Amino acid sequence: MTRVLENGLKVVVEEVHTAPLASVWCWYKVGSKDEVTGCTGVSHWVEHMNFKGTTNIPKEQIKGIIEKFGGSWNGYTWIDQTTYMETASTAGLDRMLFIEAERMANCLYDPEDCESERTVIISELQGGENDPDTLLEQEVVAAAFKVHPYRHPTIGWLSDLQTMTRDDLYQYYRRHYVPNNATVVVVGDVDADDVFRRVEKQFGGIPAGPAPRRVHVEEPEQLGERRIEVARDGTTAYLKLAYHAPGVNDADFFPMLVLDAVLTGAKGINLWSSFRTSPPQRSARLYRALVETRLASSMGGGLLPTEHPFLYLLSATAMEGVRLADVEAAASAALDLVARDGITERELAKAQNQLRARLVFENDSVTNLGHQLGYFMTVATVELYRDAPRRIAAVTADAVNAVARKYLRADRRTVGWFTPESGVSA
């Protein structure tokens, strides 16, 4: 059930009476795509600050409130959204809602906390840059986009993290953390009408704010292949192939999702949990082309539901002694083949069955279900998420073949190589 409070807060409640648990998620329609040059990384930094205490909750007590009810808590920021969650016994529902109402209205942004968190986030950024796979992906994504803010890493660019001020953070928080830019999701052993009353009590008095600025940038069509080559100390070589991909609201999204299942194995559409379990890959085309031939030790791909067109990103880790040129050639040949000749009906049926199974597994807990309901409110609608199994089942081989021809084009891709300076030669 979905309702909207007078202040614009959207509330989604799903009753699941399998265990005396409740999961509360509070979603904000703000992520790194909403940032401007000079303030990249601000969404992620604000998320960190919103665990640092509020007017009525000292920062050292937030964790204890949830643990008192045997629960867990977390949060994250990505390109389209920021979210916070608590899952605990149903007895803790009011306290979980209280925490999120406080987080929305009363975070403190103590100057000393802002400075200490600057150090933490810069250290996190530098740790990612020391991981060759992460560094290469960041560089490839930045090269794939010319104008759309999806090009910025969620953690931000170092120069911006070094110069942003406490006021920059607090103003961004006040601009985006308003009820008319948020969705509260409650899933678990609850009564929906009772939850709506509780949410009204905690959030109803928070005033709406001006509608946040929305991104209306359209990425221009890519006119030729782009290449990124990174050479640093290391022992392993990596390949990335990034193709422009449809957003979740595009009719091409679900055929593209089936295509990815054929190429790299079915993964589902849950950013929170889909990639924690390895996909079935033994019959995936790129697995056979790269891993079974011992060109790569591993390979993977990912198509995630995003509000605007993002990327279909393929990755391979080269076997020791194998040239990246050979890995790229084999991957390109497999992709060219599927774009030219299409997939088989047997591959289609297998991919659809695997995707349906992954969707079931993605709802195996109140936490996962709460994530999906809220996530889709930030990029599309709850109805689109609920309709996903039907849309997957309706995908035809012709539709998959059409998106393969449309998107898997060498002149629309960005290629990234990471070559270890002390290891494999390109």
Query: pLDDT tens for residues 68-121?
Result: 888 999 999 999 999 999 999 999 999 999 999 999 999 999 999 999 999 999
SS (H, E, C) the chain: CEEECCCCCEEEEEECCCCCEEEEEEEECCCHHHCCCCCCCHHHHHHHHCCCCECCCCHHHHHHHHHCCCCEEEEEECCCCEEEEEEEEHHHHHHHHHHHHHHHHCECCCHHHHHHHHHHHHHHHHHHHCCHHHHHHHHHHHHHCCCCHHHCCCCCCHHHHHHCCHHHHHHHHHHHCCHHHEEEEEEECCCHHHHHHHHHHHHCCCCCCCCCCCCCCCCCCCCCCEEEEEEECCCCCEEEEEEECCCCCCCCHHHHHHHHHHHHCCCCCCCCCHHHCCCCCCCCHHHHHHHCCCCEEEEEEECCCCCCCCEEEEEEEECCCCCHHHHHHHHHHHHHHHHHHCCCHHHHHHHHHHHHHHHHHCCCCHHHHHHHHHHHHHHCCHHHHHCHHHHHHHCCHHHHHHHHHHHCCHHHEEEEEEEECCCCCC
Residues of the chain with CATH 3.30.830.10: 2-203, 226-420
For 240-271, the pLDDT digits (tens) are 999 999 999 999 999 999 999 999 999 999 99
Report the pLDDT value the prediction gives residue 422, as an integer from 0 to 100. Answer: 67
pLDDT tens digits for 150-164? 999 999 999 999 999
How much is the pLDDT for 62?
A: 78
Residue 426, pLDDT > 70, answer no
Q: Domain 2-203: state its class.
A: alpha beta
> What is residue 425's predicted lDDT score, i.e. its pLDDT?
42
Query: For residue 173, what pLDDT band results from cuts at 50, 70 and 90?
Result: very high
Least confident of 22-31, 310-319, 366-375, 417-426: 417-426
CATH 3.30.360.10 fits 226-420, yes or no: no
